[in-house]
Amino acid sequence: MDLQIALLLGQDGITNGAIYALLSLALVLVFAVTRVIFIPQGEFVAFGALTLASFQAGKVPGTLWLLIGAGIAVAVVDLRAVLGRSRQRRRIFSILGWNLVYPVVLAILIHLAKPGELPLAAQVILALALVVPLGPMTYRLAFQPLAEASVLVLLIVAVGVHFALVGLGLLFFGAEGSRTPAFSDGSLTLGSLTVGAQTLWVLGSSLTLIVVLAFFFERTIYGKALRATAMNRTGARLMGISTVMAGKLSFLLASLIGAFSGVLIAPITTVYYDTGFLIGLKGFVGAIVGALSSYPLAALGALLVGLLEAFSSFWASAFKEVIVFTLIIPVLVWLSLTTHQVEEEE
Amino acid sequence: MSPRILLPVFVLSLLLAPQLVSEFHVTLLNYIGLYSIVAIGLVLLTGVGGLMSFGQAAFVGLGGYATAYLTTATSLPVWIASLGGSPWLGLLAGVVLTAAVALLLGLLTLRLSGHYLPLGTIAWSISLYFLFGNLEFLGGHTGISGIPALSMFGLPMKDARNFYYLIWVVVLLAAWLTINLLDSREGRAIRALKGGVVMAEAMGVDTARSKVVIFLIAALFGCVSGWLYAHLQRFVNPTPFSLNMSIEYLFMAVLGGAAHVWGAVLGAGVITVLKQWLQDWLPRLLGASGNFEMIVFGVLMIFVLQRARDGLWPILCRLVPQRAIARSVPVADVLPRKSLPEAGEVLLEARHVVKRFGGLVANNNMNLNVKAGEIMALIGPNGAGKSTMFNCVSGVDRATEGEVLFRGRPVTELDSREIAKLGMSRTFQHVRLLPTMTVLENAAIGAHLRGSRGVLPAMLHLERAEENRLLAEAARQVERVGLKSSMFEAAGSLALGQQRTLEIARALCADPCLLLLDEPAAGLRYMEKQALAELLRKLRGEGMGILLVEHDMDFVMGLADRVVVMEFGEKIAEGLPEGVQRNPAVIEAYLGGVD
């Protein structure tokens, strides 16, 4: 290996690592706020990428039908809860608006606008508008009725959601993979190193998103509400923070991060209906490095995963996944040596 | 039909099934059997123990690949070449390999909080899948073919009907071993893992060991299933050992009823048949080919957990008329007792104990001692730090500063389990019983340290003599505290006061020389308090030391030999009950001062 190759691999690793870092942040967030180990995170990556690819191929993505279906289901569940309670009549409009009207408006828009001919930025926005609402809807349908259940039960539900979404992904997008064109052409030359435009896009967008998230958590009332819920659910509720709102919001952020990551990597790698799962799990490895609680450590861990993956694909490409997932063994050793036995069960 | 004859009917129909159904259905039943073995392991691990593994299919794979490689390899090292080709060597190798991996993973993840085991096993599962697929000597993604057929008693098992009997014998064996294990001293320790770790540790149970044990058993069941699979199929490739299959195993256990051994068989049956059926119909319905049954399984799992979290088995059980089974306490010899220390010997001594939670000082410079043959009461207003003090001396929590001596030995750094071994036993202010277990079984957890037979004898029920002695002892203590009439009721169905009394029976089962009681009289009626006081006097008379936290002043003052009063984490008075009652500082603490 010479310096040239090392730089190339490092660039690859950092690019993928940036994506894993985004995902690991979302995983830490969702776990802290809702105690859900968010296994289906990767499906949002795949849905984001494949929805964009469908637009570019001039097709109507199947995720649209999923959005309409999930919207109807949420509306039914929510209306059943609200009807009969006169004080909450006002909520009916917002329920109908978000769950029935919004998907239909989006469907009409997609039908009229012919997304295949729109500029890329508009396609990306449409894809996100389509996929992101699926996050809070998933929370409403699968997790909210079990919000007080144990981590174990929530984890099995998360696996159930993962299974259902992967199956639906296969149904909507077929078994063939897709790749989208890069956001822009060209490259940047720094001495002997050539950096592709998409790499810059990935790094730039990831950094921007991380800064925006930091601002959101530090400076906005909703961000603070989420942090409060993560620290102490009961305490937060006593202060008037709705845990349902916090749950939906954290799922919204997670699906946004997931779908956006999908859009970012679609030009770099071919995305299949089940690709997201492995990508999401690598985010998990990063999150575990951060002991599922520290955002900076999780992001660093994810970068490490990206680099390890890139370099092991050079030395032993067949064993790339084995090496990456074995990384958590030393991390677990370290955690188990430094963590004191858990005193109190839930 | 009475529930008692259901098992024989089930076994008989298993016996006859291959003669009555088609070859295709025999094959289906074979698969249900193979999956049941794995799912039974998951019942023990997840349903009973509350731990979760996504690595079961990988353990099945280890079992399958170990035998596949050893029975087909042409160039084995010399020292095993003479045994080469034997499926039994393959089984042995698989078992050893599985045990080693499960031990390593278990030791790494089980000390951490609950969600690291599933995450660790996901990673292990994926690693192993790619390893199987990429190692040349294991045939890569094409796998290994030409695995020899098993032969037992000189009879080669080449057809599905022969194999059927072998598989189902193993299923019934696995179920029998698991049911036996759960109905034993070790089994009670395992059942305490879900919701009772603090209590179990205080009763001397090594819960970390129990966790590793069930993880190991579940992994070994998987390995055996894999071994059978390899010799049934005579071919292995990585696909059936993927993470998705691990998830399906988990679904089987959850759907069937994760806490019931027979639920595993039911779940394996339902999922297998449903999968077969969905794989036929869904592609036709949807006009495309693929594993669309995943969608149905995923949604089904969410639905089950939201609407029927205990799975199908309990629902099925409700359809069968339940007749109360007459149960009796086994008759057995009395367990040997430790000799109690001389009356007046100092049992417990706390010196300058400080406990801080962050900036909050819950105990500050606390000193107290308890002698054999006396009742010492620790009283004080709410929030004075009495329960914290209790936790510090019993090892449930660790004092920040200061020293605790028990029978002259420093125990400040010891875990509650170690302290329990020295002869200290306690109850909890917030009752810590296992609500679904019977009163007798709950009490018997207290006798954990008075038995010694391990997991293997328990699985084979070779420890019945010891088990009977433990149960008889538990029954004696239950009777002693006055709960004889509720012996076989679920502990959760008792009134709160009775639950506190049961906690005392459990503590007494440990044969302690020092008893720590945290508000034992709360929630008791007058007559029950009288009976409790009588019992405590009797224990004192036998030479036991008793440390008591209590709010009921009449109860305390009539009973205690000495009293320590705490306020704001500090001792404000100590002495005889009469003296303490007249102490101005105490009166001020309880009634407020007059300025």
* Cβ pair A160:B305 closer than 8 A: yes
Residue B1 has pLDDT above 50, yes or no: no
Assess A75–B contact: CB distance below 8 Å, yes or no: no
Q: How far apart are CA A177 and CA A275, in angstroms?
A: 9
Residue A294 has pLDDT above 80, yes or no: no
**Token representation of residue B369:** 């001692």
Q: Which residues in chain B have Cβ-Cβ distances shorter than 8 Å to A292?
A: 115
* Cβ pair A167:B52 closer than 8 A: no
> Once rounded to an integer, what is the mean pLDDT over residues B20-47?
94
Assess A231–B contact: CB distance below 8 Å, yes or no: no
For B109-121, give the DSSP string: HTTS-TTHHHHHH
Chosen for mutation from A38, A140, A152, A165 (greatest number of chain B CBs closer than 10 Å) is: A152
Helix or strand run (H / E) with residue A111: helix A102-113
Residue B288's CB is within 10 A of a number of other CB atoms, namely 13
Q: Among partner residues B131, B244, B247, which is closest to A322 by beta-carbon distance?
A: B131
Q: Among partner residues B118, B251, B397, which is closest to A155 by beta-carbon distance?
A: B118
Residue B541 has pLDDT above 80, yes or no: yes
B209-235: pLDDT as tens digits: 999 999 999 999 999 999 999 999 999
Helical axes A197-219 vs A3-34, angle rounded to 10°: 30
A221-233: pLDDT as tens digits: 998 999 888 888 8
Q: Where are the domains of chain B?
A: 20-242, 341-423+512-595, 432-510
For residue B428, the distance in angstroms to the closest alpha carbon of chain A comes to: 13
Q: How far apart are CA B38 and CA B222, in angstroms?
A: 5
* Cβ pair A157:B301 closer than 8 A: yes
pLDDT at A342: 44
> Once rounded to an integer, what is the mean pLDDT over residues B452-481?
93
Chosen for mutation from B46, B108, B210 (greatest number of chain A CBs closer than 10 Å) is: B108
> Once rounded to an integer, what is the mean pLDDT over residues A122-140?
95
Is the separation of the CB atoms in A262 and A276 below 8 Å? yes
A166-193: pLDDT as tens digits: 999 999 999 888 888 888 877 777 777 7
Q: Which residues in chain B have Cβ-Cβ distances shorter than 8 Å to A153?
A: 305, 309
Helices (H), A174-220: 197-219
Q: Model's pTM, two decimal places? A: 0.90
Asked which of A81-85, A266-270, B172-176, B551-555 is least confident by mean pLDDT, the reply is A81-85
For B470-532, give the DSSP string: HHHHHHHHHHHTT-GGGTTSBGGGS-HHHHHHHHHHHHHHT--SEEEEESTTTT--HHHHHHH
For residue B354, the distance in angstroms to the closest alpha carbon of chain A comes to: 19
* Cβ pair A285:B123 closer than 8 A: yes
The CA-based dihedral angle spanning residues B397, B400, B405, B411, taken in that order and rounded to the nearest 10 degrees: 50
pLDDT at B385: 87
pLDDT at B593: 61
* Cβ pair B111:A142 closer than 8 A: no
Q: Which residues in chain B have Cβ-Cβ distances shorter than 8 Å to A320?
A: 130
For residue A269, the distance in angstroms to the closest alpha carbon of chain B comes to: 20
For B426-478, give the DSSP string: E--SS----TTSBHHHHHHHTTGGG----HHHHHHT--HHHHHHHHHHHHHHH
| Average pLDDT of chain A to the nearest whole number | 88
pLDDT at B172: 95
**Token representation of residue B549:** 């936290």
Domain with residues B341-423+512-595, CATH architecture: 3-Layer(aba) Sandwich (3.40)
Q: Which residues in chain B have Cβ-Cβ distances shorter than 8 Å to A32?
A: none
Cα dist. A15→A173, A208, B513 in Å? 26, 14, 65
Assess A329–B contact: CB distance below 8 Å, yes or no: yes
Q: Which residues in chain A have Cβ-Cβ distances shorter than 8 Å to B397?
A: 343
> Once rounded to an integer, what is the mean pLDDT over residues B4-24?
86
Helix or strand run (H / E) with residue B571: strand B570-575
Residue B324 has pLDDT above 80, yes or no: no
Q: Among partner residues A325, A336, A343, which is closest to B127 by beta-carbon distance?
A: A325
Q: Where are the domains of chain A?
A: 30-273
Q: Among partner residues A163, A292, A326, which is closest to B247 by beta-carbon distance?
A: A163
Share of chain A above pLDDT 70, in %: 96
* Cβ pair B108:A329 closer than 8 A: yes
For residue A149, the distance in angstroms to the closest alpha carbon of chain B comes to: 10
Residue A330 has pLDDT above 90, yes or no: no
For residue B305, the distance in angstroms to the closest alpha carbon of chain A comes to: 7
Q: Which residues in chain B have Cβ-Cβ distances shorter than 8 Å to A36?
A: none
* Cβ pair A161:B286 closer than 8 A: no
**For B445-454, b where at least 16 C-beta lie within 10 A, e where not — what string?**
bbbbbbbebe
B272-319: pLDDT as tens digits: 999 999 999 998 888 888 889 999 999 999 999 999 888 899 888 888
